[in-house]
Structure 1
């Protein structure tokens, strides 16, 4: 009975700890939390976690908890070898080893004391694919790990897999937004550059940031093959005097393909032609250490996208220089680029909305409604664009919330609500550092605030709430009321408007409610709202 009671208590603690894992954004913190939870729940003396995620296994995290420096060193020194870590990547379920000194796959491990000799290995699997393992050493107050420990380990494996995938998805999303932002900014810089030298410098600096290169250069040519502009920068992004590899530049332009070349001294040189179907403009080259340990800030596909974007922008820039009469066409192309970026954001959010069939399309609907209200209030084009993007991104933080909470058919309990209330802050953190999305952060962070101060996350009241967030909260509530949810049926437009009027001055800004109702009454036929 005592053993069953202890097992039940550990099970409850594991369930609670697992629900907290889903809200962690930082990959390193996720790995450290998993290691700490494993040590506590499995009552181990030392735990080690290793994860490899992504198509190219480039999302790698390791962490440990407990004091065993010799064991930790031997684990981290042999991750790629044919040993227990690789076995964990092939195992389907947890398994125990009574004495790692007598097991071939672990004989190489150096343990700090005999109390660490027992081991419980827990493969972490996601969608039937192994993505890592948790390794627990030395059972506290006992000699060996038990079947109960193994049972708890299976649940821990599922929780860890979900937490790591959530963290990885957030990191991938932030990386995608960062790359898109860099390309967007580069296009603007090239189009607005005063001359080709400035444009070439912008291209070289962006390529240098993405590749983390030790040397970067770019050569642009005139139509008669004379050099129009050239730039060389060092590892710090400062002007350099290194010679351009002109033969490599010419070969890349002639072939139209990316070329890798090793000039020696453990250096790998990459050269990419800058071209469009109309013309070949030149090439950009980058030197980086020819070392598996060197990790660029992005992958080759993003560098190719950079070069392609640079070529398109150069073409537009030169057309602008050659003829000011084409300014209208270039502005249209610029607007198309911005529209493409917004479509990319919309696609990302549509994929996020698709996690929940009940809310699918919600972000796009509220974006359209919010902009119409903004137009009726006389907002500027800049304010409307901020409102549109913020509306699309308002629930992006839900990527960090567990499906078990998002899809729960009934009301959330107190612990689940605490986690759900984190999504505005998680969303704000995701778009932090992306310059042209900074103005969307107040709406993303405060769209759940309420006029009487009962909202979250800041409990802001009245005009403390940013104006765009006040407007959006009305639209968001209306769409939620007129859409089906797992725990209730939708209501009609008239019923939803009546609810908003009743809550005006309580939950919602009365002026925003009035503006929204006026817009709905004037546009109901074209909005295709529920009867």
Structure 2
């Protein structure tokens, strides 16, 4: 055996195939794919064994070269068996393949129809094929190409990333087989290129069978291109340099080893410095998607580290994924446990069909599935799930309408905080394992950021709600204070203008409207009349008077329901009849009937110079103001009616009192006209004494009724022409007490009792009926006592003539301090003097 570098490589390849065979043989579980692949490895080992026999010149070179040819064809058949076992679709013409194999073996081994000759010229293999080699090898390569096409077809149909990943291994391996086998039938067959190609194929298929779920073909491709491509180039140069050097200088074995070592060291020195440059170049040119995905992850991580707004963060993540991975649609659903009904709500979406819903309930089968999952879940896995099939039709339709391809759970400490939903790629190719790895990495790196952003958004929302609540509370307190002031104004003021002005100020200022007025309903003429307004630029509505049912205000009053006109320009209303109203530029109108005790009291009209679209809080406060307005109008009207009734009643009382006074005068002819005369003078003197208006009312009534007690005195005494006896005087002096007994039971006349009961009391206490003294005597009685004596002495009596004024004045002065109050006497005398001057002045002017 002649050892050289080519023989060493061939032996190593043979050992490798045997090792792979043993690995596949003893791994579990046993499958048809493994059985077919073991046959393929066995044929490859036979091929390398034949090559060892040829290169090592250990037997009949011609026979073993033909065995190499046969075993290479058998490897193609072995690959066909492997494809048959791996794909669900089977071919029905396998028996013809076996006929072809038998014929190829017989023609190659038993005749010289395929291989003309083969021998070793020193260390160089010399061989030649006949034209029939195409008949022997052609069908095998055609079968190889057909199986490669089947693998490509299966790859495009498969939706599972694991199956697609596995088929990528097989496709790549088959390509290496075809390339390596072609070299055997060319002048390059003298170099061990086919050995490397087939060895790489065997390794790839082994990985596809044993670990296809743990490795990613794209990663292997990237590393393969990074290391195998330059290594193959350098290796080819390595073998060319060694072969050329050995043949040129006829080196011995020892010299060949030294040359090999030197070239290997040189190759390593050349390869190492350019490794990083090659990696970047390969990533950018051949693996652009992976390169862009890494940049995407970097950008998203940077964004997540500085962005705390959930909406902007989610939008950034969705935009990056769609633009980088070229996805048709995507959305991010985030857990909202703070809501009354906890659910996963869409916070950002692009291209998703969510016209029906924008959330998944917390017990939705999709959410439950995501809680159990740690890796992305394909729609193909979900659509056959019993949990999904148990959904209500509208929920199932919504899930289908999303047209999602992939669902990725976002978790923090095993808690599901979000679901990333992705549609299919724009290329319509399924997601690869590398895509899933990238998205899994993205989910793990952004989950915490999304959780923090969600907490921040929640905190911001709570802060805004708290501020809004505080603002609403302040507004409510302000409005309650205003309502309290209005209530006070309503209760304390019976003048309707005061509360109405306050109410209209509240309507304009608090409800932020431009103008408002109140039309008061008059039951007498059944009209709505303008009573007060705020915010108007003109007097267009100041003289409004509408019948029930006339105009918008009349319609609101008649129907007892609000009238709302959003745009006055587009409606035909009675407001257009007022030329001045055009200058107001009103756009929106509200008319609210004012109702109290189920009776219409008026209409509150609101005008706004832009479109008015109030919310419920606005309407609630307005309804409160409307109620207050109706109450104010009702109270004012009740007071007016009560005041009118009271005045009528007082007038009736006064007329009754005057009637009683005239009745007494008619009965006691001595005092005819006396009541009216003393009434006027008493009131005049009381005014001079500073008596209030309210007290004057009672003094007037007391003056009219001062002798009401005489109604119980017999006519024989009351109309006696001569002097009265002591007994008769005793009876006469009882008339004040009789007056008290008569009037004290009448509450209306109780304040007027002072004069009828006490006008015969004297300052020195000698009067009757109680014998009061000094200021014990009521002031009104002290005033009346002077006027009563003045009129009695100044008037004719049946038993005497009237005294002159000077004599009467002298008598009154004389009685000051005994009969009369000295101070009242002074005021009375001054009043008489003033009246005398006034009369003289009038006479002089005449």
**Does TM, scored on the shorter chain, surpass 0.5?**
no
Give the structure with higher Rg (CA).
Answer: 2
TM-score normalised by the chain length of structure 1: 0.37
Higher helix share: 2
TM-score normalised by the chain length of structure 2: 0.24
**Structure with greater contact order relative to length (CA < 8 Å, sep ≥ 6):** 1
